[in-house]
Amino acid sequence: METSVRNKQVILRDYVKGIPKESDLMVVTSSDPVDLKVKPGSEEVLPISGIGVSKVIDSDDPAFTKGDLVWGMVNWEEYSTINPTGMIDLTAYAGFYEICSPKKGETVFVSAASGAVGQLVGQFAKLMGCYVVGSAGSKQKVDLLLNKLGFDDAFNYKEEPDLDSALKRCFPKGIDIYFENVGGKMLDAYHLETRDRLQNLPDIIFKRIKLQGFASYDLMDRFPKFLEFVLPYIKEKKLTYVEDIVEGLENGPAALVGLLYGQNVGKQVLKVAQE
């Protein structure tokens, strides 16, 4: 397949240290037509990428035809060449059910609880019969957790002078499962960056704490099981999902920076086209 089009993309001007500013990103439209015939695995041009929904305009793969809607890892651009294997985000489902191994009645704490992963983890925990508390970065997000997503309790971590006291207030008998989404002050006690800064090892031993990282890329084989589990809850409207939609590729830089500063409410979505 070889098609020439003018393609609009969101790219980084250069490598960024720390949190990027809008000026670190730019929306470009090629002055020359972009050749969409890309060598497999080629990353010569690197626009920003993320999980997205796209419409097929042409395909060499018999499994996909013109007009099909597909989702997976795509670039922030109007036209993309996509690997047919794709990538689906199973973080909330596999992370909670397979890594955390929850039991009815357990206490669950979710950081960044109003975000893309956190809001699902909290609802999965409630469906299990767990007691669930979430932290978020604004009053609006806390209200969302309590009034729409069904969390038992929630707090704004930015307004808590002492996070240890906040957790003890919400969990006087302790936390069984901590689903960590962001790191930062709530995970500072572990200091996992370097060995000489690792603290509180006795607590890990005596409390039998299990600390495990994972990547959804490793759990792709669970996707059919995930669909089998989640679709009935969606049809019965027992799961709620909140999105913060920004329209127009040109607004992508502002949306990304806003996401990094916690200005979004729910999963941040950039809508490139109506169809």
pLDDT of residue 109: 95
- Listed by start position, the domains of the chain span 4-87+243-271, 91-216
What pLDDT is stored for residue 151 in this prediction?
Answer: 98
Specify the pLDDT at position 2.
53
| pLDDT computed for residue 155 by the predictor | 96
Q: Please tell me the predicted confidence (pLDDT) of residue 275.
A: 65
- Give pLDDT tens digits along the chain (275 positions): 455 667 888 888 777 788 888 888 888 886 444 444 444 544 444 678 887 888 888 888 777 888 888 877 788 888 887 765 444 457 899 999 999 999 999 999 999 999 989 999 999 999 999 999 999 999 999 999 999 999 999 999 999 998 889 999 999 998 999 998 876 665 553 333 333 334 555 666 677 777 777 777 777 788 888 889 988 998 999 998 899 999 988 999 999 999 988 899 998 988 988 76
Return the CATH class of domain 91-216. alpha beta
The whole-number pLDDT of residue 8 equals: 86
- Gyration radius of the chain's alpha carbons: 21
Structure tokens at 136: 């978020």
Return the pLDDT at 203: 66
Q: What pLDDT shows up at residue 37? A: 44
- According to CATH, the superfamily of the domain at 4-87+243-271 is Medium-chain alcohol dehydrogenases, catalytic domain (3.90.180.10)
pLDDT for 27 equals: 87
**pLDDT value, residue 88:** 41
